[in-house]
Amino acid sequence: MLETLFVVLVGLAGGIAVGLQSPLAGALGQRIGPAASSAIVHLGGLLLSALLVLHRGGERIGEWHSAPWYMLASGFLGVALFLTINVTLPRLGAAAMIALIIVGQLLTGVFIDTQGWLGVPVRPLDLYRSAGILLLLAGGWLLVK
């Protein structure tokens, strides 16, 4: 029970980080340009990640070449995310922008679950998950409206 609570709190902390990072990066993009903002954000992430890897004894970074190409290409998706933030934030505001990102993430997650892609266990689309998708779409629509 305590372990589950810890994992939930870590997940919420990640959500808070994304909730803060997106509008901050979007505001920076409005000031210096979307690609420049993305470069600065990713450079900061690279520096912190490098320090963490060094602190953790290198982890298994030497095995990077054994990862499939699509895993290595995930950095491109981060850039795409930051560019979309710079389009949506000034036009729709922070809450609607984050809602759209979350809707996109969860719909992608449901699709990945139902197909069992990327090594995740298959979770079929049932009544509860379908209801969750409908509520999610309604919430996203209400925040954008």
Q: What residue has token string 């912190």?
A: 48
Query: How far apart, in whole angstroms, are the C-alpha atoms of residue 120 and residue 7?
Result: 18
Q: What residue has token string 């979309």?
A: 84
Q: Is the pLDDT of residue 138 over 90?
A: yes
Q: pLDDT band at residue 56, thresholds of 50, 70 and 90?
A: very high
pTM for the model stands at 0.76
Between these two residues, 55 and 8, which has the higher pLDDT value? 55
pLDDT value for 22: 84
Q: pLDDT band at residue 78, thresholds of 50, 70 and 90?
A: confident
In the chain, domain spans: 2-144
Query: How far apart, in whole angstroms, are the C-alpha atoms of residue 65 and residue 63?
Result: 5
Q: pLDDT band at residue 143, thresholds of 50, 70 and 90?
A: confident
pLDDT value for 79: 87
Q: Where are the alpha helices (DSSP H) in the chain?
A: 2-32, 34-55, 69-72, 74-92, 94-115, 127-144
